[in-house]
Chain A
Amino acid sequence: MLSLEGLRAGYGRVEALKGVSLDVRPGELVTLIGANGAGKTSTLKAISGLLRASGGRILFEGAEIHRLTPREILRRGIAHCPEGRRIFRTDARAIREDLERVCTYFPILAERLRQVAGTLSGGEQQMLAIGRALMARPRLLLLDEPSLGLAPALIETTFRIIREIRQRGVTVLMVEQNAYVALRMADRGYVMETGEIALEGPAGDLIENAHVKRAYLGG
């Protein structure tokens, strides 16, 4: 569905991605883990068109997309839910409209979300940010650190919702600091180190991998 072939990109003279190759197949939940500054967020930004590729290719359903604008990429069915939620804070009316549609996606949350209009808690903002990305009815959802800054109970809820989204047929590529939880729920995983893919494989194998255990799982 999505493939990156030797993707290179950077900010000014700093090269953040030094030839990244990865694949996401239809229906999969793939996770991208790695330390801060490894290039995870840059990879997602390159896919959604926020960061220009300086080399390599990005293919979505067989067509090159790395020269398209973010708007065109969104239209093709890739929605990017950015790190840190990045909701538009001041337009209460727009938020309420978004919320109503989010509620149709997650009926369990409906009642709770209707209580708030302008000031949402961190977890509610994360729901809103994911729901907003789903508004475009994407076939591929890019999630950047969905658990960032959330209380443990809310992290649990957020991941449950991501599993539900995937069950509804949306393919997911997720960047996550919380490597253990991410690998537990993913089909396959990629480990990024300093702009390159260091390891890849079925998520279950990566959890057992000695290097991953030592570097990312605190074992």
Chain B
Amino acid sequence: MEEFLQHILNGLILGGTYALLGIGLTLIFGIMNVVNFAHGEFYTLGAYTTFLFLALLETNFFLALLGAVASGILLGAICERLLLRPLLGESIDTTMLVMIGVWIAMQNAELTLWGGVAKSIDHPFPQPPLTLGPLSVAPLRLFVLGAAVLLIAGSHLLIHRTRLGRAMRATFQDRETAALMGVDIHRIHTVTFAFGSGLAAGAGALLGPVFVVYPAMGDPAALKAFVVVILGGLGNFAGATLGGLILGIAEELGAGYISSGYRDAVGFAIIILVLLLRPSGLFARAERVG
């Protein structure tokens, strides 16, 4: 039982960052109808920006995290303005190919800039794990969970409690009618892409210190994000949040009770089952984008 609870806690920590990745991807998918194959690269960008701030600029750890999120937002906005806006109204295949190009370009830029050797990020948290009754957890991982929860809650408030969020949900439901109501569709697209990329960069910044940072680290992250989106249903914010947590817990249980080599296989087994049994997502009847 104690072992089980420990797996659940580890799963929640991992799942929180999966949820961040999935929320960004599902919003971009749902609102802009863009399959963002470069999503994992914004995750990598966040991790490297954190490294840059800490190792080269020698700033405070928390400032580095903010810088990482800001870099995701900025590059996301630039990417939308330069590459996606001219393609507004083109088919989903066209934008998908463009995003595959962005994926390749960003990953190779990272390789050129930082080299292929993995880097580790220092953090100010003490190494010895905290013990909470039968459970033990590294302080850094507890911080990662707290920060992920904060970012998810903040995103929820943005989408459900602000005019901007309402405009985003309206655009998701019916782009033309939203435009007729005075919603600036271009602005919503820029904001959505910047926001989703910022969340991905935040996830990378949080997991960077937990694991190591290397140019291809975004590939598995992007795969997880797609799993989360399929689990939760297209454009479904709450679905992506729950889907992330479910995936994180399932992976931990799979790694713990089957074999750690099967960690990633668990995610794909879930995907196959969901696509066979509930192709529109586990929470298909829930409200989409919000």
Contact = CB atoms under 8 A, between A and B. Distances in A.
Contact of B184 (A50, A71, A94): A71
B162 to A, nearest CB: 13
A153 B176 CA distance: 29
A90 interface: yes
Given A91-B166, A94-B166, A70 B180 contact: yes
Contacts of A133: 180
A136 B180 CA distance: 10
Contact of B176 (A50, A74, A88, A136): A50
Interface string B247-290: 00000000000000000000000000000000000000001101
Interface string A36-79: 00000000000011100000000000000000011100110001
B176 A82 contact: yes
A132 B166 CA distance: 15
Contacts, number: 46
Contacts of A70: 179-180, 182, 185
Contacts of B288: 90
A90 B170 contact: no
B179 A50 contact: yes
30 contacts: A50-B176, A50-B179, A50-B180, A69-B179, A70-B179, A70-B180, A70-B182, A70-B185, A71-B179, A71-B183, A71-B184, A74-B180, A80-B180, A82-B176, A82-B177, A86-B174, A86-B176, A86-B177, A88-B169, A88-B173, A88-B174, A88-B177, A90-B173, A90-B287, A90-B288, A91-B166, A91-B169, A132-B181, A133-B180, A136-B182
A201 B179 CA distance: 32
A45 to B, nearest CB: 8
Contacts of A90: 169, 173, 287-288, 290
Contact of B170 (A49, A71, A88): A88
Contacts of B173: 88-90
A50 to B, nearest CB: 6
A88 B171 CA distance: 10
A84 to B, nearest CB: 10
A58 B43 CA distance: 47
Nearest to B177: A86
Interface residues of A, number: 20
A-B pairs, top 10 by smallest CB distance, nearest first, are A70-B179, A86-B177, A74-B182, A80-B180, A71-B182, A90-B287, A71-B184, A88-B173, A86-B174, A88-B170
A80 B180 CA distance: 6
Interface residues of B, number: 18
Given A69-B179, A90-B169, A136-B182, 4 more contacts: A71-B184, A74-B182, A82-B180, A86-B177
Interface string B156-197: 000000000010011001101101111111100000000000
Contacts of B185: 70
B156 to A, nearest CB: 15
A49, A71, A132 — most chain B CB neighbours (10 Å): A71
Nearest to B289: A90
A49 B290 CA distance: 28
B289 to A, nearest CB: 9
Nearest to B179: A70
B32 to A, nearest CB: 17
Interface string A93-105: 0100000000000
B174 A75 contact: no
Contacts of A69: 179, 184, 186
Contacts of A88: 169-170, 173-174, 177
A55 to B, nearest CB: 19
A189 to B, nearest CB: 24
A213 B193 CA distance: 53
Contacts of A50: 176, 179-180
A90 B30 CA distance: 15
